[in-house]
Each structure stands twice: as structure tokens, then as C-alpha cells.
């Protein structure tokens, strides 16, 4: 697998335009090592609330299929998300709930990396551990280290340019992306 371009998708847990997590997501390609291509996943903003009756009557909504197909086709998935009330933002959790009900469940065996930015000093750590727990149930392969938590997010970005001003945080993300490329080469391609 060495030398092959790895195609990874990123999923942002925040829907707001000025999102710090979206800013990070937009910066990822610039921090990635050669050979790691990162594209934004199809959106989940229009997913209805998960309801098994909808699934059983009209089937899976087209945007759910689209995201699931993108996850299946990707060599890995990077979640970049804030923490809401010490856990996974509802919209993102709803998206995972929909995708998880598809046959040939897309996250099974999929390499996953987690990044979070949040207002609190723990930088979304509690969200990450809840997301890890979901990924265990879905049989994904979530990379353990390096972890990236960006706390006090409002002080770390240039709101006008979208640049991450904290050099230490930039360094952590670069290290994580380099590790993720190796992780995919070692553990990916199993689904
Ligand atoms: C519903 C809600 C719940 C939140 N809960 C937390 C929390 O548990 N921990 C935390 O650090 N920040 C929390 N915050 C603040 C977010 O970290 C902050 O708004 C952050 O900028 C959101 O990420 P974004 O900029 O990517 O949209 C919460 C914000 C909202 C809107």
C-alpha cells in the first residue's frame, strides 16, 4: 500500500458558518503529509431526525445514502467536532445513527481520527471519548494517538482569515495526520 494516495474524508460536527471546527477542517489539507488527500464529506445538515418508521416506510433518505457511500469509498474518516453539553453534537449523532442502520455498515473496519475544538479548556475531550464509544459499537478502527484537543478555541483563531494561530496546536494536527496516514497503511483496507 506504500506510495498509494490515501483518500480521506472529513466530517465537521458543527453546522454554524463561523465554526472553529470548520476552520480546522478547511486547514487540514495544508497540514497533511504528501499522499494524504482530505475532502469534505457530503453534508448531514438536511438529514431528518432518525426514525425507524421513516427507514421502514420510505427507506433511507438520499443524503444518508450519499454520506454512507462516501464513508465506504474513503480510506479513512476524520471527525472535527465541538463538544455540546459534554458530548457529541446532536446533529452529528443523528447522522451517525442514520448511517449506522445501513446494511454493510459503512464504519466497520474504517480508520478514524478525531479532532475537537471547544470553548472549554478540555477542548472537547469528553465529546471525543463519547464518539470513540460509538465507533467501538460500529466496529471502526479509531486511532488512539496522537490526540488533538483545542481548548479555549475563541482565542486561537484569526476569525478573518480562518488561520489557526496556535503553533503548538498546528504541530499536534500535523503529527496526527502523519500518524493517521501510517495508521491507514497498517490497518486500513479491511472493508
Ligand atoms: C449547545 C451547546 C453546548 C455546548 N457545550 C459545551 C461543552 O460541553 N463543552 C465545551 O467546551 N463547550 C461547549 N459549548 C461551547 C462550544 O465549545 C463553542 O460554542 C464552540 O465554538 C462550538 O464549536 P464551533 O465553533 O465549531 O461551532 C457548547 C455550545 C453549544 C451551542
Is the C-beta atom of 162 inside 6 A of ligand 1? no
Is the C-beta atom of 16 inside 6 A of ligand 1? yes
Q: Does residue 11 have a pLDDT over 70?
A: yes
* All cell numbers assigned to 108: 466497520
Is the C-beta atom of 125 inside 6 A of ligand 1? no
Where does the pLDDT of residue 168 fall: very low under 50, low under 70, confident under 90, or very high at 90 and above?
A: very high
Q: Does residue 3 have a pLDDT over 90?
A: no
Is the C-beta atom of 85 inside 6 A of ligand 1? yes
Q: List pLDDT tens digits, range 109-151.
A: 999 999 999 999 999 999 999 999 999 999 999 999 999 999 9
89 in helix, strand or coil? coil
Average confidence (pLDDT) over 65-93: 98
DSSP 22: H
Cα 154 versus chain centre, distance: 20
Cα 63 versus chain centre, distance: 17
* Predicted local confidence at residue 189, as pLDDT: 83
Where does the pLDDT of residue 190 fall: very low under 50, low under 70, confident under 90, or very high at 90 and above?
A: low
Q: Does residue 4 have a pLDDT over 80?
A: yes
Q: List pLDDT tens digits, range 30-72.
A: 999 999 999 999 999 999 999 999 999 999 999 999 999 999 9
> Among 133, 162, 130, 165, which residue's Cα sits nearest to residue 26?
162
* Predicted local confidence at residue 191, as pLDDT: 60
Q: Structure pTM?
A: 0.97
Q: Given ligand 1 and candidates 22, 84, 90, which is best to mutate, with the most ligand atoms within 8 Å of its CB?
A: 84
Q: Does residue 76 have a pLDDT over 60?
A: yes
* Predicted local confidence at residue 57, as pLDDT: 96
Residue nearest atom 24 of ligand 1, based on CA coordinates: 19
Q: Given ligand 1 and candidates 118, 128, 157, 164, which is best to mutate, with the most ligand atoms within 8 Å of its CB?
A: 118
In order of 65, 73, 139, the CA distances from 3 in angstroms are 30, 19, 27
Q: Does residue 13 have a pLDDT over 90?
A: yes
Amino acid at each position: 500500500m506504500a506510495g498509494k494516495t490515501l483518500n480521506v474524508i472529513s466530517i465537521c460536527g458543527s453546522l454554524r458558518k463561523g465554526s472553529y471546527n470548520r476552520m480546522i477542517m478547511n486547514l487540514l489539507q495544508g497540514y497533511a503529509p504528501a499522499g494524504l488527500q482530505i475532502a469534505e464529506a457530503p453534508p448531514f445538515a438536511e438529514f431528518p431526525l432518525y426514525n425507524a418508521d421513516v427507514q421502514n416506510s420510505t427507506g433511507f433518505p438520499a443524503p444518508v445514502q450519499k454520506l454512507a457511500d462516501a464513508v465506504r469509498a474513503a480510506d479513512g474518516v476524520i471527525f472535527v467536532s465541538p463538544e455540546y453539553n459534554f458530548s457529541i453534537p446532536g446533529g452529528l449523532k443523528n447522522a451517525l445513527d442514520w448511517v449506522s442502520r445501513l446494511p454493510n455498515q459503512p464504519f466497520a473496519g474504517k480508520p478514524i481520527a478525531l479532532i475537537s475544538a471547544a470553548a472549554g479548556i478540555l477542548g472537547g475531550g469528553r465529546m471525543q471519548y463519547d464518539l470513540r464509544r460509538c465507533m467501538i459499537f460500529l466496529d471502526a478502527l479509531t486511532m488512539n494517538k496522537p490526540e488533538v484537543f483545542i481548548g479555549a478555541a475563541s482565542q486561537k483563531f484569526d476569525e478573518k482569515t480562518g488561520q489557526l494561530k496556535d503553533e503548538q496546536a498546528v504541530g499536534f494536527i500535523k503529527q496526527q495526520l502523519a500518524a493517521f496516514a501510517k495508521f491507514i497503511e497498517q490497518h486500513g483496507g479491511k472493508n
